[in-house]
Structure 1
């Protein structure tokens, strides 16, 4: 029978989804494995979607999105991100996921290399393999506060390197890069004439450190910025994100949007418009909820002597379980799920540097967090 393209065999499966799918088959599981906000979508957003359906706003839209939404995003970017663009640089996508894949498809030919964070969001590596490109991991290590090592990046860049992916606030680490770090990364990209893909999906969730958009520091149009409504507005299943491109790509973007999706569903775009232009108090409330959960979780771990990374953003906690996982945290996470009915994401799902760590989602109830983290084995615990 016919065969799939050979490079498809190199696409790694998601270690997060493996645990999630297993957990979905069990009863009574405390779900701390996927990044799913536990707060409801705001009423004004849901009402806008309902009105769109009731008014039969179910037609094709321009490839880039309805003009009102794109205009609102242009205004938001200027106001909140200090990123000043025109309408033809903002493209509404099927979540941040499509924006990431679309960008990598624009920039990478077969055999090209892209520098990806390790630990880093799983889709970075998966997308590269799907495009027959080569993901080259750069280490985010504890001894550098999980920030990029510029010396390592200099050693990794080669003749086929085309792009650098930067993720701040980080999934899975919750690290937020200060402006100085971002400027150094941009300088590195300029020296080697690289594109930069900036994943800023968790922009609204920072704690004590301001989020800085890479494109606000960009002086020579090399940054593609990826944003999403999913986490900010608890709209993960609605699937609306947006991509901000350098200047001069409007015709190309119209073509690739038409080929990939034609357009995002019109009712979903009206929901996104209401989210961007409406009351942001629910976003502020969600941030405080996640911050409260973070304080609860870190106090519990500190009391039990379990090492963790203090995050400055997103809604995850990066926890060291190397004392229990014995060099196979993926296998340990599955056994832990089966024995304790607690689902966590194995750190190795985010890259080799994640071995021995787990990612826990804090977008949950205090009761689930307390119960779930209370079952983690502490150093010296016979479990």
Structure 2
């Protein structure tokens, strides 16, 4: 076999998927698994969204669409960005992608040439450094410490900037931490990027799950009047509308990049499948009751998970957003939380994601997804070993 490219060979396997696959193996043997390892909403998709997608299939709406997506969907997203995010963007700035992951990859492809560095959070979503490596970039971790409530220290980031640094990745609300940054923090990060002329990739996938009720969009802070034109906003319909398998996301770019996006999209996936875009349009423009119901459900499951941990004296980070609990298991993980998670799955039949897959500073922690059934979350986290 010929040698693989160095970029593909440099992409590590996902520690989340490792646990996921082991859990599926146990289930195939007929064993029950309480699965909290993958960020998968358990709620059903709203009926009007399913109906729109089904009509698109039965009416044979299966042709190519424009590279940047169906115009009605993009127009609806422009309106959503204005009304929810307070972001004043034009139609030429909004581009539909196969999920938030492809929006992330396009953003990194726009920002990074081979060998360029991108600052990524540690702990942070494991796909951030994986995607950077896939496009030939070099991920450089910036630390998020518990004593600072996992909020970045600007001085730490300043010290990491080199002549090869080209981009800064910001994720709020955060996966895996559930941390949400306030306006002052986001503005300080944007100011840092301006000082060093960096791109900013803003992952806002969990935008509707800000428990403070005061979500601030970094994409909206990138005002042309303030020297804007450096933020690439990554969004997804997966978490908001439980459309994880439909694979619809979108990328918001500064003005003037629409031709470049269309070329890059044509070279990678051409376009998002049409029925999924039709369903997405129904989701964005139709009744939003399901979104509010989902918020209430996730708040309830997070509360159930926290109560189970509190009863056992286990330390965790109180989430400001998203639907994860970041749990300290250092009292039992013995310095190898990945191995502990595998053992916990085999012995207690509970699947959680090892913190080390989110960066070196995640050692001793686990991420538990609380998007599922309330009883399942409570039962699973009641099996976490009590703290002495």
TM-score normalised over the length of structure 2: 0.97
**1:255 equivalent in structure 2:** 263
- Alpha-carbon distance between aligned partners in 2 of 1:75 and 1:357, rounded to the nearest angstrom: 39
Alignment pair present for 1:77 and 2:85:
no
**1:23 equivalent in structure 2:** 23
**2:179 equivalent in structure 1:** 175
Alignment pair present for 1:166 and 2:170:
yes
Runs of 5+ consecutive residues of structure 1 not aligned to the other structure: none
Of 354, 358, 370, which residue of structure 2 is paired with 1:362? 370
Q: Secondary structure at the match of 2:120?
A: strand
1:243-322 alignment, distance < 5 Å: 243-322=251-330
Q: Is the 8 A contact 1:114 1:162 kept in 2?
A: yes
1:180-204, CA deviations, whole angstroms, 9 ceiling, x for partnerless residues? 0000000100000000000000000
TM-score normalised over the length of structure 1: 0.98
After TM superposition, give the deviation of residue 209 of structure 1 in Å.
4.2
1:181-231, CA deviations, whole angstroms, 9 ceiling, x for partnerless residues? 000000100000000000000000111241111121113111000100101
Runs of 5+ consecutive residues of structure 2 not aligned to the other structure: none
Q: Secondary structure at the match of 1:155?
A: helix
Q: Is the 8 A contact 1:95 1:239 kept in 2?
A: yes
Alignment pair present for 1:108 and 2:112:
yes
Instruction: Output the aligned Cα RMSD.
Output: 0.8
Q: Is the 8 A contact 1:176 1:209 kept in 2?
A: no
**2:9 equivalent in structure 1:** 9
- Alpha-carbon distance between aligned partners in 2 of 1:338 and 1:237, rounded to the nearest angstrom: 28
1:257-297, CA deviations, whole angstroms, 9 ceiling, x for partnerless residues? 11111110000000000000011111101101110111111
- Alpha-carbon distance between aligned partners in 2 of 1:7 and 1:227, rounded to the nearest angstrom: 25
Equivalent pairs, count: 380
Alignment pair present for 1:210 and 2:218:
no
1:167-246 alignment, distance < 5 Å: 167-219=171-223, 220-246=228-254
After TM superposition, give the deviation of residue 9 of structure 1 in Å.
2.4
1:17-73, CA deviations, whole angstroms, 9 ceiling, x for partnerless residues? 000000001120001000000100000000000111111110001111111000000
- Alpha-carbon distance between aligned partners in 2 of 1:77 and 1:367, rounded to the nearest angstrom: 35
- Alpha-carbon distance between aligned partners in 1 of 2:6 and 2:203, rounded to the nearest angstrom: 29
After TM superposition, give the deviation of residue 8 of structure 1 in Å.
2.5
Alignment pair present for 1:144 and 2:144:
no
- Alpha-carbon distance between aligned partners in 2 of 1:8 and 1:229, rounded to the nearest angstrom: 28
Q: Secondary structure at the match of 1:242?
A: strand
- Alpha-carbon distance between aligned partners in 2 of 1:261 and 1:10, rounded to the nearest angstrom: 23
1:114-171, CA deviations, whole angstroms, 9 ceiling, x for partnerless residues? 0000111111100111122110000111111100111100100000000000000000
Q: Secondary structure at the match of 1:237?
A: helix
